[in-house]
């Protein structure tokens, strides 16, 4: 077991790669001799990815071992796996982590430009690091809102309102009819709703070459005040995901009318269609302060470990997974939205239900591409939770956030000032 | 006499009640694990399955495809890993610490007292302090994500050495000296005279080591990154973080983790509890 | 080695103790020394990219920690765990031990084992069970509260209830251990003293207060101090039950160290946390040995 790691440590990455390439080349003949490729993905992508492998194995003779990594522990698992020399050959990375994993040297650069041809521009923009490609976009997940058609209609709405004030007004109307239930399903440890709101105000979250927080701004205050009002008016619950054991059931039972969420919810809606029939729900873009705007977007990207011993096979798998045909199959299986432009011209994606997704994914919010961003998001949401629970006022919270960000970015600031990183 | 009788009744029922309350969570864990999916999410909480089903165990241990999704919880491999790791940790732990404990008690060698003092001082060091550098060291040695990496830190058994020493002190010196006069070698004395005398304490120690390794969580969580190598607690924690909604499935997973421990503990509990008292007196 | 040849005993002794001593050196002494060194550097994720990004920062990490609100929060949470948990756990152990000690109780070994069983189960597996027992809507605990006419609590959702909720679980899990220790101590209470007190007409409480308590007092105190050290090392419970929430109310020192170290890879900072934990445990052990000493004089 330890053999694998020992072989790789103490040797430069380049020499390992060269050796590995030679190894892969020499093993082209009897494929069965090489160990299966290891592939990691998170949540549904991991659960369903095995369906995509038989075609690949049939075409190439390469076996693939798929592991589904729990989403709440993905970041630490991947980092420790890298540090321990145990990263899989191929894995799925959300776009926000590409910069981090590229910086530590975990990712093999995409070997040819044709891997990233024909990608939806926003997905590619999210994935590129200083114009370089370290991962191939696989699917794009813009945040949208799922809503209960029946509950909205009862309150006099056909579709959700598109400005914040009207959206909240709609929430009040629904709450008025059903005072014991909530309206908006956004939980206190889900940062994305708040971040979409922040993005929609057009604010710049960091300053001084992304080395300091920039939250003490009227825009942030505006977004926080709006976010807070959803909770003070009891339109959203003061609850964490550990408390709402089955959020989907709560939505299906009508305890919430609006759920800002991701395309992955499409699969739940399909799998649990017995709980909520198709005609009862719809999809719309998120409301913004003055109408639709940019919203948080996560793109899944397929990357190859810099230390893979089978780079050829690994890149062959990337090509297979990110092909239009495979992406369309995954769309059918789990509702993943393809990152290939071509896929969107085909009839399978020309359905009204996907329109809000297609529109929103052309207008993504661009998160700062720094290593610490993942952590900053979590910290901002933690402070927001304190605001919602009445432990901090908004100005206090924004000051706390800036202070916390400055602290988190201290190391980055020092390195930027020393000119070691940009 | 009647006062004593009432008192007996009160005391006995109180003990029975306390035991019942203590065992309810475990009992409930078992019954829920046999309920159909979603059956436990009702009020009042059901205590007994309306329909007994093994589907949770089937899904957890055998079935792989649900609604077209491939769920491989890898619980059976985790069970295997846990067993392998716990057995290795126990056997190696005994091999390393029983002779050492005896040596510290009965063999004369230079530096013994000083080493002993250092060991006792070392008892204070919490293992968690060593974890971060240990990870970096193991990274250099290629031990991250390996069984050896999980087992090794547990083998630094200061407690075990002192525990065995405490027991070995009771062996009469005359017995050993007599054997020496008869020309027996030190290893022979250890094998033929000391080991049989230490047998009960060895069983106790083996139990401690096995259960300690089986229930260990933080270090395996850190050092194992590949699901094929996960131990049961790490696998269960991963599943609960992802499938918390499936209460019945989680209970089945808990049963699978708890049952082997009880199967080993219950028949040998006498050794465990007596050892615990010996250990606590020493500290 | 210029010394005369070792005796057979000496050779055997080194053969017997050498391996385990070497392992202790390698996986305990060396890493702890390195942890101290690491805590004086700014080892972060940037160091994974390039070792040159590591700098010696002296006590900078410690100064930084003292300015980090979440660290204080973690310390406070851990302290709260200990302050509430020790009386809860020791009280439960003592109660159970006194109950078991009563002369009229039959089948003692059976009860003893049954009450001890939670102690040997896996924390992770039983924490999963308790997460469901503590569920606000469908949990048995709230059902039992309702039965007693009390309102349901939002156990794992309310920042003020989360620590007591986890402590309910921890108490359930560990009280058997000290119960066994206390039963042993109780059976060592001198019977003649007890008899004398009874003849003097002392009440049951009086006998407990003046005979039992002084006799088991040292054991009780020692167990309490040792429990504090145990509560300082709480990790798996919040990891499985609350992920540190709600509002970070269950982030413990060790949880903070794990996140800082292995989630964000700030090993320098995390090592500083480890060092502080070490010092705290040292302090407690010091108290423990002091008690032990006083114990010996008495």
| Per-residue confidence (pLDDT) for residue C197, from 0 to 100 | 87
User: Which of B30-39, C77-86, C200-209, C216-225 tops mean pLDDT?
Assistant: C77-86
3-state secondary structure at position A128: coil
Question: In terms of C-beta density within 10 A (0-12 exposed, 13-18 middle, 19 or more buried), how is residue A32 classed?
Answer: exposed
What stretches of A237-339 adopt beta strand conformation (E)? 258-261, 281-284, 297-304
C83 within some domain? yes
Is the domain of A279 the same as that of A404?
yes
pLDDT of res. C50: 82
Let me know whether C18 and C157 are in one domain: no
For B190-228, how does the pLDDT look when each residue is reduced to its tens digit (9 = 90+)? 999 999 999 999 999 999 999 999 999 999 999 998 889
DSSP secondary structure of A180-212: TS-SB---TT-THHHHHHHHHTT---EETTTTE
> C interface mutation test: which of A79, A84, A211, A243 has the most C CBs within 10 A?
A243
Which one, of B236, B237, B231, lies nearest residue B213 by Cα? B231
Among chain C residues, CA nearest to A412:
C46
Task: Say what the pLDDT of residue A277 is.
Answer: 93
Average pLDDT, chain C: 88
A202 and A317 inside one domain: no
Find chains touching chain C: ≥3 CB pairs under 8 Å. A, B
Same domain, A189 and A308: no
Q: What is the C-alpha to C-alpha distance for residues C166 and C171, in angstroms, rounded to an integer?
A: 9
pLDDT at C207: 86
**Residue C2: inside a domain, yes or no?**
no
State the best of C121, C242, C286 to mutate against chain B, taking most chain B CBs within 10 Å. C121
Find the residue in C nearest to A82 (Cα): C48
Residues A126 and A150 in one domain: no
CA distance C177 to B218: 21
Which of chain A's residues have a Cβ under 8 Å away from the Cβ of C67? 407
Q: Which residue has the higher pLDDT, C3 or C109?
A: C109
- Nearest chain B residue to C34, by CA: B133
pLDDT tens per residue, range A7-28: 333 333 333 334 344 344 444 4
Long-range contacts of A57-62 (CB under 8 A, 24+ apart): A59/A320, A60/A31, A60/A313, A60/A316, A60/A320, A61/A31, A61/A32, A62/A31, A62/A34, A62/A36, A62/A37, A62/A313, A62/A316, A62/A317
Are C76 and C214 contained in the same domain?
yes
pLDDT digits (tens, 9 = 90+) for A284-300: 999 999 999 999 998 89
Mean of per-residue pLDDT scores for chain B? 89
Longest dimension (CA), chain C: 81
| Pair of tokens at residue C190 | 């001198």
| Residue C1 included in any domain | no
pLDDT of residue B247: 83
Chain B, window 141-160: residues with a beta carbon less than 8 angstroms from a chain A beta carbon: 141-149
pLDDT band at A61 (very low <50, low <70, confident <90, very high): very high
Domain boundary among A360, A385, A407: A360
Report the C-alpha gap between B48 and C127 in whole angstroms. Answer: 21
A284/A212 same-domain check: yes
pLDDT band at A106 (very low <50, low <70, confident <90, very high): very high
State the Cα torsion C198-C204-C207-C209 to the nearest 10°.
Answer: -170
CA distance C274 to chain B (A): 5
For the domain that residue A63 is a member of, what is the CATH number? 3.40.190.10
Show the domain range for C73: 60-297
**Is there a contact between B156 and C262 if contact means CB atoms under 8 Å apart?**
no
In a domain, A422, yes or no: no
> How far B142 CA lies from chain C's nearest CA (Å)?
15
Residues of C in CB contact (< 8 Å) with A are 42, 44-46, 48-49, 53, 64, 67-69, 131, 135-136, 154, 156-157, 159, 241-243, 245-248, 262-265
Interface touch B68/A70, C-beta < 8 Å? no
pLDDT at position B70: 63
Cα Rg, chain C, nearest whole Å: 24
The pLDDT confidence band at residue A1, using thresholds 50, 70 and 90, is very low
**Model confidence, pTM:** 0.86
Residues A88 and A179 in one domain: no
How far is Cα A419 from Cα B2, in angstroms, rounded to an integer? 89
Q: Would you state the structure tokens that stand for residue B235, as one six-digit string?
A: 């696998």
**Which residue among C46, C154, C248 sits closest to A382, beta carbon to beta carbon?**
C248
A122 falls within a domain = yes
pLDDT of res. B281:
35
- Would you state the pLDDT for residue C135? 85
pLDDT digits (tens, 9 = 90+) for A331-387: 998 889 999 999 999 999 999 999 999 999 989 898 888 889 988 998 999 999 999
| C234/B217 Cα distance (integer angstroms) | 12
| Residue A6 confidence class, pLDDT cut points 50, 70, 90 | very low
Partners of residue C125 in chain B, C-beta under 8 Å:
232-233, 236, 253-254, 257-258
Q: Which residues are within 8 A (CB) of C28 and not within 5 positions of it... i.e. 6 or more apart?
A: B122, B125, B127, B130, B153, B156, B158
Whether residue A37 is found in the same domain as residue A121: yes
- Which residues in chain B (205-264) have CB-CB distances under 8 A to chain A? 222-223, 225-229, 238-239, 241-242, 244-245, 247
Q: Are residues C35 and C82 in the same domain?
A: no
- Residues of chain B with Cβ-Cβ distance to A48 below 8 Å are 68-70
User: Does residue B137 sit at the A interface (CB-CB below 8 Å)?
Assistant: no
| Residue A241: closest C-alpha in chain B | B244
Same domain membership, residue A344 and residue A381: no
Give yes or no: residues C153 and C20 share one domain: no
Instruction: Identify whether residues C232 and C277 lie together within a single domain.
Output: yes
What is the mean pLDDT of the segment spanning A116-134?
A: 92
| 3-class DSSP assignment, residue B117 | helix
Query: Is C121 inside a domain boundary?
Result: yes
Contact C138 B186 (CB under 8 A): no
> A210 and A63 share a domain?
no
Question: B37, B39, B45: best mutation site toward chain C, by most C Cβ within 10 Å?
Answer: B45
pLDDT of residue A9: 35
Residue B280 has pLDDT above 70, yes or no: no
Which residues neighbour A39 within 8 Å (Cβ) at sequence distance 6 or greater? A49, A53, A64, A65, A66, A67, A88, A89, A90, A91, A317
Yes or no: say if A256 and A181 are a contact pair by the CB < 8 Å rule: yes
CATH number reported for the structural domain that contains residue C77 in this entry: 1.10.3720.10
Interface test with C, best of A104, A190, A241, A307 (most C CBs within 10 A): A104
Q: Which comes out higher in pLDDT, residue A245 or B220?
A: B220
The domain containing residue A6 runs over which residues? 2-140+298-360
What's the domain count of chain C? 2
Q: Are B99 and B190 in contact (CB under 8 A)?
A: yes
Same domain, A37 and A119: yes
Q: Answer whether B154's CB lies under 8 Å from B223's CB.
A: no
For residue B57, give every residue at least 6 positions away whose Cβ sits within 8 Å of its Cβ, in sequence order, or none. B33, B252, B256
The tally of domains found in chain A comes to 2
Angle at A421 between CA A420 and CA A422, to 5 degrees: 135
Listing from the earlier edge strand, what are the strands of the sheet with A258-261? Answer: A258-261, A144-148, A281-284
**What residues in A contact B148, CB-CB < 8 Å?**
1-2
Complex ipTM, two decimals?
0.89
- C151 and C41 fall within a common domain: no
Distance from CA of A200 to the nearest CA of B (A): 30
Chain B neighbours (≥3 Cβ pairs under 8 A) are A, C
How do residues C120-159 score in pLDDT, each as one tens digit? 999 999 999 999 899 888 888 998 998 898 988 888 888 8
**Is A247 found in the same domain as A308?**
no
Whether residues C104 and C239 share a domain: the answer is yes
Can you tell me the mean pLDDT for C79-99?
A: 94
Q: How high is the pLDDT of residue C4?
A: 55
Contact B277 C180 (CB under 8 A): yes
- Which residues does chain A have within 8 Å of residue C165's beta carbon, measured at their own beta carbons? none
pLDDT at A88 > cutoff 90: yes
Q: What pLDDT shows up at residue C205?
A: 87
At C287, the pLDDT band (50, 70, 90 cuts) reads confident
Kindly state whether residues A285 and A152 are assigned to the same domain: yes
C240-259 per-position pLDDT tens digit: 888 887 878 999 999 999 99
Q: Decide if C68 and A400 are in contact by the 8 Å CB cutoff.
A: no
CA distance B248 to chain C (A): 10
Verify that C81 and C181 share a domain, yes or no: yes
Q: Could you tell me which of A306, A327, A312, A314 has the C-alpha nearest to residue A137?
A: A327
Which sign does the torsion angle of CA A13, A16, A20, A22 carry? positive
CA distance, residue B59 to nearest chain C CA (Å): 18
C46 and C101 inside one domain: no
């Amino acid at each position: 077991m330890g053999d694998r790691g020992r072989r790789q440590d103490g040797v430069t990455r380049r020499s390992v790669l060269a050796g590995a390439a030679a190894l892969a080349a020499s093993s082209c003949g009897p494929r069965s001799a090489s160990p299966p490729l290891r592939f990691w993905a998170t949540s549904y992508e991991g659960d369903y990815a095995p369906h995509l492998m038989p075609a690949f194995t049939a075409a190439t003779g390469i076996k693939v071992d798929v592991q589904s990594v729990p989403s709440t522990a993905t970041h630490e698992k991947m980092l420790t796996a890298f540090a321990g020399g145990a990263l899989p050959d191929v894995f799925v990375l959300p776009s926000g982590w590409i910069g981090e994993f590229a910086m530590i040297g975990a990712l093999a650069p995409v070997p040819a430009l044709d891997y990233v041809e024909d990608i939806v521009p926003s997905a590619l923009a999210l994935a590129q690091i200083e114009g370089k490609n370290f991962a191939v976009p696989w699917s794009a997940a813009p945040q949208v809102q799922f809503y209960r058609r029946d509950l909205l209609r009862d309150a006099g709405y056909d579709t959700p309102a598109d400005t914040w004030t009207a959206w909240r007004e709609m929430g009040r109307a629904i709450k008025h009819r059903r005072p014991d239930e909530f309206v908006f399903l956004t939980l206190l440890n889900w940062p994305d709703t708040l971040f979409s709101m922040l993005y929609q105000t057009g604010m710049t979250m960091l300053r001084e070459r992304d080395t300091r927080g920039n939250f003490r701004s009227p825009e942030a205050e505006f977004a926080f005040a709006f976010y807070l009002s959803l909770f003070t008016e009891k339109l959203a619950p003061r609850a964490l995901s550990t408390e709402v054991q089955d959020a989907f059931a709560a939505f299906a039972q009508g305890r919430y009318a609006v759920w800002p969420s991701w395309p992955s919810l499409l699969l739940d809606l399909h799998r649990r269609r017995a709980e909520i029939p198709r005609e009862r729900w719809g999809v719309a873009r998120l409301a913004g302060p003055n109408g639709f705007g940019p919203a948080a977007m996560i793109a899944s990207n397929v990357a190859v470990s810099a230390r893979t011993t089978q780079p050829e096979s690994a890149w062959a798998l990337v090509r297979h997974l990110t092909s239009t045909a495979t992406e369309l199959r995954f769309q059918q299986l789990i509702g993943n939205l393809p990152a290939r432009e071509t896929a969107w011209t085909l009839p399978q994606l020309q359905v009204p239900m996907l329109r809000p997704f297609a529109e929103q994914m052309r207008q993504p919010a661009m998160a700062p591409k720094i290593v610490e961003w993942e952590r900053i998001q979590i910290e901002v949401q933690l402070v927001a939770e304190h605001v919602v629970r009445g432990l901090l006022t908004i100005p206090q919270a924004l000051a706390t956030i800036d202070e916390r960000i400055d602290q988190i970015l201290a190391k980055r600031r020092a390195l930027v000032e020393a000119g070691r990183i940009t | 006499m009647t006062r004593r009788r009432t008192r007996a009744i009160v005391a006995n029922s109180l003990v029975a009640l306390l035991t019942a309350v203590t065992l309810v969570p475990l009992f409930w864990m078992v019954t829920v694990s046999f309920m159909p999916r979603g059956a436990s999410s009702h009020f009042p909480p059901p205590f007994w399955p309306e329909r007994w089903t093994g589907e949770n165990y089937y899904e957890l241990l055998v079935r792989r495809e649900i609604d077209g999704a491939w769920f491989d919880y890898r619980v059976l491999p985790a069970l295997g890993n846990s067993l392998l790791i716990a057995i290795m940790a126990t056997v190696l732990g005994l091999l390393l610490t029983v002779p050492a404990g005896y040596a510290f008690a009965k063999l004369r060698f230079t530096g013994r007292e000083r080493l002993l003092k250092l060991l006792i001082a070392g008892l204070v060091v919490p293992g968690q302090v060593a974890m971060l550098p240990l990870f970096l060291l193991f990274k250099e040695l290629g031990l991250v994500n390996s069984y050896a990496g999980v087992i090794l830190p547990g083998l630094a058994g200061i407690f075990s050495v002192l525990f065995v020493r405490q027991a070995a002190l009771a062996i009469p010196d005359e017995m050993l000296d007599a054997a020496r006069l008869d020309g027996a070698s030190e290893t022979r004395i250890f094998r033929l005279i000391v080991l049989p005398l230490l047998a009960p304490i060895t069983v106790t120690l083996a139990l401690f080591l096995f259960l300690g390794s089986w229930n260990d969580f933080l270090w395996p969580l850190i050092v194992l990154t590949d699901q094929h190598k996960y131990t049961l607690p790490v696998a269960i924690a991963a599943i609960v973080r992802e499938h918390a909604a499936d209460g019945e499935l989680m209970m089945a997973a808990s049963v699978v983790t708890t049952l082997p421990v009880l199967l080993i503990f219950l028949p040998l509990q006498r050794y465990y509890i007596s050892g615990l008292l010996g250990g606590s007196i020493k500290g | 080695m210029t010394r005369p040849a070792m005796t057979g005993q000496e050779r055997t002794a080194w053969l017997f103790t050498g391996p385990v001593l070497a392992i202790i050196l390698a996986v305990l002494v060396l890493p702890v020394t390195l942890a101290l060194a690491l805590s004086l550097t700014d080892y972060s994720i940037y160091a994974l990219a390039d070792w040159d990004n590591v700098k010696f920062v002296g006590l900078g990490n410690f100064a930084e920690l003292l300015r980090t609100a979440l660290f204080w929060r973690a310390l406070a949470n851990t302290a709260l765990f200990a302050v509430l948990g020790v009386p809860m756990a020791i009280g439960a152990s003592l109660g159970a031990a006194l109950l078991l000690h009563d002369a009229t109780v039959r089948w003692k070994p059976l009860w003893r084992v049954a009450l001890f069983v939670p102690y040997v189960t896996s924390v992770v597996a039983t924490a999963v069970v308790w997460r469901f027992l503590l569920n606000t809507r469908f949990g048995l605990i709230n059902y039992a509260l309702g039965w007693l006419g009390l309102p349901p609590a939002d156990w794992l959702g309310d920042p003020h209830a989360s620590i007591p909720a986890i402590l309910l679980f921890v108490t359930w899990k560990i009280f058997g251990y000290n119960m066994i220790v206390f039963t042993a101590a109780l059976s060592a209470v001198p019977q003649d003293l007890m008899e004398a007190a009874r003849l003097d007409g002392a009440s049951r409480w009086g006998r407990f207060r003046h005979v039992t308590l002084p006799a088991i007092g040292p054991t009780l105190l020692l167990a309490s101090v040792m429990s504090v050290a145990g509560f300082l090392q709480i990790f798996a419970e919040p990891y499985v039950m609350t992920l540190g929430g709600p509002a970070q109310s269950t982030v413990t020192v060790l949880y903070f160290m794990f996140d800082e170290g292995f989630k964000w890879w700030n090993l320098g900072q995390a090592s500083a946390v480890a060092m502080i934990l070490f010092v705290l445990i040292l302090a407690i052990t010091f108290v423990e040995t002091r008690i032990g000493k006083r114990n010996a004089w008495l």
